Structure 1
């Protein structure tokens, strides 16, 4: 599964339980409206129902249900991208611009780690590796 889809599913369910909800819902419905407009209204309703489940799972600390929601939305997004591959860039934009900036710092780090988004400032360096990394002195 595409790393952006993994990140989007996680960010979406996280956003469902916080202040980012309205922006997340609007962005996702907008994504469906671009690719599968006939499904966009139904997706909006699904998101509302999922939010109720997410809020209840947070309230009762039911992490299994929350993870099931993440998996469900990852599958829905993966299916959308398989049908409409031209939406991949739009999904990445939704994650980077609409979802991630509105999450808390810890949640933001967890989501961006899924698709390798990093940011450096001033003279900082970023070293990324999929496995072991060895850096010899300079």
Structure 2
């Protein structure tokens, strides 16, 4: 079961740290804290404070362009969550459910229609995603 927990912890740690810098942060914090509160109520407030401190560190690292700090913070939470799962394996399904709830819905395929017109020496550039234009 340990490899399964390692994979789940890796996904959870990455998701938690990634969402720290988004609008989904409050929901993420509440979900993780609720899991800890259910299993280790005496540690829940400390975990909430650690999540807040990690978020502050992450935002400062992002502002400074420090990608290594983000990787370190992710690794910290991956390890913390793995140890949590090892100590209480029954919480794995609840964690999976929380992660499913936190993930944005999968993009549905849609049709994009673009129309453009140009006259004279004008140029039109359209793209559905990334576009790189090199003019010489």
> What is the TM-score of this pair, normalised by structure 2?
0.72
Moved >4 Å (runs of 4+): none
Structure 2, unaligned stretches of length 5 or more?
110-136
Question: Equivalences for 1:2-41 in 2 at 5 Å?
Answer: 2-41=6-45
Structure 1 or 2, whichever has the larger Rg, is: 2
* Correspondence for 2:103 among 86, 100, 107: 100
Aligned length: 105
Structure 1, unaligned stretches of length 5 or more?
106-118, 122-138
For 1:36 and 1:64, how far apart are their aligned partners in 2? 31
The higher-RCO structure (CA 8 Å, 6+ apart) is: 1
For 2:84 and 2:67, how far apart are their aligned partners in 1? 26
**Cα-Cα RMSD:** 2.0
> What is the TM-score of this pair, normalised by structure 1?
0.71
Q: What SS is found at the alignment partner of 2:22?
A: coil
The structure whose residues are more often helix, as a share, is 1
- The alpha-carbon distance between structure 1 residues 86 and 17, as it changes in their structure 2 partners (threshold 3 A), is same
